[in-house]
Amino acid sequence: IFAMPILLPLYCWLLGIHPFKQIDLITPAYPLALFFMKLGCFCSGCCRGMSCPFGLINYEYQKVEFPTQLLEAAIALFLFFFLHTYRKKAKEGTLLPTYIVLYCSIRFCSEFLRNEAAVWGPLKVYHILCLIGILSGLVQLVILKKYRQKIESLFTHDLPSLVFKKEKVKNNRKTTS
């Protein structure tokens, strides 16, 4: 999941495919995968919520905890449906940065409902990571807005045909000799 934003553009560049359509096509799969991961977290008991008077009992620790995993699973499912419908209206290539900003913003807020130690004031490690994610998503949106044409021109080569032409030339030399 984490390597896909890097590997998919590389794959598109190697094949000479326009990357924005491919990235927009696969982006809704991220929150759908996250939905199932959060259900797995709930079933295994990891990613514990904070203790509270209402919620679900964690039998391993004998505490009533807020079901953070289920909340995040529901939010991930909502993000999946939102991105799936927004994909038709969004400008090509903006869906992944939009998802990054939305997910990191939501995760920043839901992180307060978790039972983890703070590392910097009231902030936990994931708060800092979410702030970095929000910043990177916003930077990506700005870069796409300013440099869309230059980015698209990077993918307008015909590398596969150049490779196959070289192979055909080698095969022709072998058959003529």
Per-residue pLDDT at 152 exceeds 70: yes
Length of the chain: 177
Q: Per the structure block, which two tokens stand in for 15?
A: 């094949």
pLDDT in tens, 50-82: 666 666 666 566 777 777 888 889 999 999 999
pLDDT in tens, 2-51: 677 778 778 877 777 778 888 888 888 889 999 999 888 888 777 777 66
Cα 86-79-50 angle, rounded to 5 deg:
160
Residue 162 pLDDT level (bands cut at 50, 70, 90) = low
Measuring CA to CA, which residue among 115, 118, 30, 116 is closest to residue 75? 30
Nearest-angstrom CA–CA distance, 73 and 83: 15
pTM of the model: 0.75
